[in-house]
């Protein structure tokens, strides 16, 4: 395990260097969060029938989405792309570590470090500042029960490994294509739409709910966020987490197989 | 050579370059079309769930959505040089532009005429067409729509110029400008009346995006403003776009004067 931890910690420290960019990013994301909440607020005030989730739950959903935005698989690892292109991947092949583990560990760092940098100031704003300026209804409320909090912690961890498994798939694609741009756009579009980042999944039409809930993307955003606010509770929590882990397993097995196939194609020239 | 002829040459060179990889270009346009297309599906889903928002129907909201999408994608295509200006600044490439006997603004506009955002333009045009089928068009309204889009391109371009100007002091062009450009796009996709007053005022009086989208949009829809903007303001508001751009260009000039090169 130690080499993988070392990879994570080295990448992690490197990614923590970009602090000014993170502060500017936080301001932008807070702005987006406020706009989104105002839009939903307007819709909720015009609602004739009771919406499928309470406004407080929706506000939590929106803020968690901004807080954890960087945890999602948005792009392939650009250094890994350079390694594949330049042939430096040969060095990685020589190391006595499992290559899938190596790529996965890099993904873990790049999904967590930027998130931590950004999430804390946004958490302070959404949970503490908003009530202070009289916008209590818009705040990020704490989980309603201890079970919801514990369930969220477990679901968030599962979401992280699921997101990293997606990330490795994007990295794998670089073994076949030059830039991977087309595939990356396809995946990010699916992530935005099917995970709940675009609009919370419960707000989609009722006939689509079952399919949306079973897709691997729901485990990235929708399931953990709804567990947090108590929208998914009781025995359903366990089933949601099981779905996340099940998809993770599928993606890891698929990713390992794909990486093995891809490596057979790699040609390293020169000495 | 007139500035316009020179810009045409810049643009032609940029287009030729981008069309060298036709297949990859077509793929990217398709992917952006898909990407922005599903964004509107999200808006549709909200209307399917709630029916209307504060008395606005989907087809009315689609007008604002389509106008701002078309406007932003046009500006994004011509203003790329300003958007990526911080990189030029860091590498000292601005010096080259300063040596040439032409304005920096013209040369930066000529950097690139980006075609990649054609997908967003197509999507915006499609949404606008959908919205337009419910509008009683008159020649005056067509003229107003064109003026609003032209004014909007000026307003967004002004923002990109300001973003580039700020780089003279901050070097990196900070992500915070995205709140005004992308954030401005996002919030203007819905009628301004649904937002809180501080946000409305910010995007009407400081950054005049509402003047090129919401206000002329009301005139196109023949709707009275729930906030009480007078009729004449709806027709004249797009003029705020070029006025804003003029102010931003003044700031740009100040920035260029402040500029000290990075050296060799």
Return the number of other C-beta atoms located less than 10 Å from residue B87's C-beta: 12
| Residue given tokens 């030729």 in the structure block | B16
| Long-range Cβ pairs for the range B10-18 (8 Å, 24+) | B10/B107, B10/B109, B10/B110, B10/B111, B10/B113, B11/B110, B11/B113, B14/B110, B14/B111, B14/B112, B14/B113, B14/B114, B15/B113, B15/B115, B18/B114, B18/B115, B18/B116
- CA–CA dist B197, A261 (Å, integer): 57
pLDDT beyond 90 at A94: no
Position B173 scores a pLDDT of 62
How far lies B101's CA from each of A19, B104, B109, B183, B259, in Å? 39, 9, 15, 36, 18
Say which residues have a Cβ less than 8 Å from residue A172's Cβ, sequence separation at least 6.
Answer: A255, A258, A259, A262
Position A201 scores a pLDDT of 96
Position A219 scores a pLDDT of 95
pLDDT beyond 80 at A19: no
pLDDT beyond 60 at A159: yes
Mean pLDDT of B89-94: 83
Compare CB distances from A193 to B38, B54, B190 and report the shortest one's residue. Answer: B38
How far lies B28's CA from each of A187, B12, B118, B124, B185, in Å? 13, 20, 9, 16, 21
Compare CB distances from A38 to B41, B176, B196 and report the shortest one's residue. Answer: B196
Q: Which of A203, A207, A212, A217 to mutate to probe the B interface, most B CBs <10 Å?
A: A203
Report the Cα A202 to chain-centroid distance in Å: 18
Start-end of H helices in chain A: 2-15, 19-45, 55-67, 78-86, 89-94, 99-124, 130-132, 146-173, 181-195, 209-214, 222-228, 235-265
Report percent pLDDT > 70 for chain B.
Answer: 98
* Cβ within 8 Å, pair B28-A38: no
Q: What is the pLDDT of residues B235-251, one digit of tens each?
A: 999 999 999 999 999 99
pLDDT beyond 80 at B116: no
B139 touches chain A (CB under 8 A): no
Task: Supply the pTM of this predicted model.
Answer: 0.90
Mean pLDDT of A20-43: 90
Q: Which of B27, B31, B86 to mutate to probe the A interface, most A CBs <10 Å?
A: B31
pLDDT beyond 90 at A183: no
- In DSSP terms, which residues pair with B56 in a beta bridge? B53
The model's confidence at residue A78, banded by pLDDT at 50, 70 and 90, is confident
Token pair listed for A17? 């260097």
| Residue given tokens 């307007």 in the structure block | A42
- CA–CA dist B14, B80 (Å, integer): 11
Token pair listed for B209? 């995006």
Q: Which of A19, A21, A24, A48 to mutate to probe the B interface, most B CBs <10 Å?
A: A24
How far lies A31's CA from each of A97, B177, B180, B182, B186, in Å? 43, 11, 9, 11, 11
Report residue B226: phi and psi, to 5°: -60, -20
pLDDT beyond 60 at A100: yes
- CA–CA dist A113, B150 (Å, integer): 42
pLDDT beyond 60 at B264: no
pLDDT beyond 80 at A266: no
Q: What is the pLDDT of residues A109-148, one digit of tens each?
A: 999 988 988 898 999 999 999 999 988 899 999 999 999 9
Mean pLDDT of A164-174: 90
Position B262 scores a pLDDT of 67
Position A270 scores a pLDDT of 58
Query: Is residue A33 a contact partner of residue A66, using CB atoms and an 8 Å limit?
Result: yes
Say which residues have a Cβ less than 8 Å from residue A7's Cβ, sequence separation at least 6.
Answer: A102, A105, A106, A109
Query: Is residue B198 a contact partner of residue A38, using CB atoms and an 8 Å limit?
Result: no
Compare CB distances from A199 to B42, B54, B199 and report the shortest one's residue. Answer: B42
Position B32 scores a pLDDT of 86
């Amino acid at each position: 395990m130690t080499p993988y931890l070392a990879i994570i910690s080295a990448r992690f420290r490197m990614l923590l260097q970009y602090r000014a960019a993170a502060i500017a990013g936080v301001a932008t994301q807070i702005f987006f969060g406020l706009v989104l909440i105002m839009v939903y607020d307007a819709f909720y005030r015009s609602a004739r029938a009771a919406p499928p989730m309470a406004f407080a739950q929706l506000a939590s959903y929106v803020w968690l989405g901004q807080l954890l935005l960087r945890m999602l698989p948005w792009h392939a690892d650009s250094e890994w792309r350079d390694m594949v292109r330049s042939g430096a991947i040969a060095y990685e092949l020589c190391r006595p570590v499992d290559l899938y583990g190596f790529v996965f560990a890099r993904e873990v760092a790049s999904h967590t470090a930027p998130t931590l940098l950004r999430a804390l100031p946004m958490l302070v704003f959404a949970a503490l500042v908003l009530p202070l300026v009289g916008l209590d209804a818009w705040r990020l409320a704490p989980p309603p029960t201890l079970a919801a909090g514990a369930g969220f912690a477990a679901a968030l961890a599962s979401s992280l490994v699921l997101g990293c498994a997606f990330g490795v798939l994007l990295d794998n694609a670089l073994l076949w294509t030059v830039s991977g741009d087309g595939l990356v756009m396809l995946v990010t579009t699916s992530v935005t739409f099917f995970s709940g980042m675009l609009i919370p999944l419960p707000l989609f039409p009722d006939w689509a709910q079952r399919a949306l809930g079973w897709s691997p993307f729901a485990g990235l955003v929708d399931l953990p966020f709804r567990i947090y606010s108590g929208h998914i509770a009781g025995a359903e929590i366990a089933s949601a987490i099981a779905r996340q882990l099940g998809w993770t397993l599928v993606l890891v097995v698929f990713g390992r197989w794909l990486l093995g196939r891809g490596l057979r194609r790699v040609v390293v020239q020169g000495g | 050579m007139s500035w316009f002829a020179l810009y045409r040459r810049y643009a032609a060179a940029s287009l030729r370059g981008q069309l060298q990889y036709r297949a990859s270009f077509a793929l990217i346009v398709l992917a952006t079309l898909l990407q922005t297309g599903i964004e509107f599906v999200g808006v549709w889903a909200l209307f399917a769930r709630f029916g209307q928002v504060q008395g606005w129907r989907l087809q009315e909201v689609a007008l604002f959505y389509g106008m701002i999408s078309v406007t932003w994608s046009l500006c994004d295509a011509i203003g790329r040089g300003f958007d990526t200006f911080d990189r030029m600044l860091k590498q000292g490439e601005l010096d080259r532009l300063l040596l040439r006997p032409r304005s920096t603004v013209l040369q930066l506009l000529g950097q690139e005429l980006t075609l990649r955002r054609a997908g967003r333009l197509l999507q915006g045009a499609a949404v606008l067409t959908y919205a337009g089928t419910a509008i009683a068009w008159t020649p005056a309204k067509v003229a107003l729509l064109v003026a609003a889009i032209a004014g909007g391109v000026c307003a967004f371009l002004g923002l990109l110029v300001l973003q580039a100007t700020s780089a003279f002091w901050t070097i990196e062009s900070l992500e915070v400008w995205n709140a005004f450009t992308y954030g401005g796009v996002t919030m203007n996709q819905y009628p301004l009346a649904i937002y809180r007053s501080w946000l409305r005022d910010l995007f009407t009086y400081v950054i005049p995006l509402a003047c090129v989208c919401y206000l002329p949009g009301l005139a196109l829809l023949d709707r009275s403003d729930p906030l009480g903007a007078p009729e004449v303001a709806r027709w004249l508001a797009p003029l705020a776009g070029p006025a804003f751009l003029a102010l931003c260009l003044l700031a740009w000039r100040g920035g260029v004067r402040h500029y000290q090169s990075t050296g060799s």
